[in-house]
Amino acid sequence: MLAPTYYQLNRLKMLRRLDELETASGSARSVYIPPGSAMPEIEKILETVLEPEQMPLNLTKMVTNSTTGAVLFWGEQHKYLILPPFPITERRVSWGYDVDPLRSLLQREFTIALILVRLGAYAIGVFRGEKLVSSKVGTGHVHSRHKKGGSSQQRFERHREKQMEVFFQRICTHV
């Protein structure tokens, strides 16, 4: 039985690992599974590549739970399950270490918006690839909770909720 070892690789290290796989010898299979695939469907795909006794524990569960899909490289020398940072778009089973779809996914320059909100402060950033294209930070006035009790507590709570609503509307406008 295989014992899993978990790694988190950045883009450059993952591309280097794909280069190593591409030059590796021996028989292998590559499986690309897009997100949202059902567990029975995943099990059926994996059974075409692996014998039931070869199947590592929790492999199907890890693939099913992945929000970006999974890539499985299964060969004599290397056995990798990769959960990519961006979604796999096509289902694919092929012979050898077929690294081209994953490499093209990792080399694409995605545009990503990052929005961080904490009551009273926010930060918005737009990235193209690894470059920050645009950003905005700001603050807003939101009272903290009023815990004294009594008849005024509900009034302060309604006032605070209105301040939060205005603050979030302002953030949404910036976004």
Cβ atoms of residues 68 and 35 within 8 Å = yes
Residue by residue, pLDDT tens for the chain (175 residues) are: 566 788 898 989 999 999 999 988 888 999 999 998 888 888 888 888 887 777 777 888 888 889 999 999 988 888 899 999 999 999 999 999 999 999 999 999 989 999 999 888 999 999 998 899 999 999 888 887 777 667 777 788 888 889 889 999 999 888 8
Name the strands in the sheet holding 111-118, side by side, starting at the edge strand that comes first in the sequence.
111-118, 121-128, 131-139
Identify the pLDDT of residue 160.
86
Bin 26: left if φ > 0, else alpha if -120 < ψ < 50, else beta. left
Which amino acid, 114? Answer: L
**Residue whose C-alpha is closest to residue 73's, from 103, 49, 89, 108:** 49
Q: Where are the domains of the chain?
A: 11-107, 111-174
Note the pTM of the prediction, 2 decimals. Answer: 0.73
Fold of 11-107: 3.30.960
Q: What sections of 1-113 are H helices per DSSP?
A: 11-23, 39-49, 59-65, 100-107
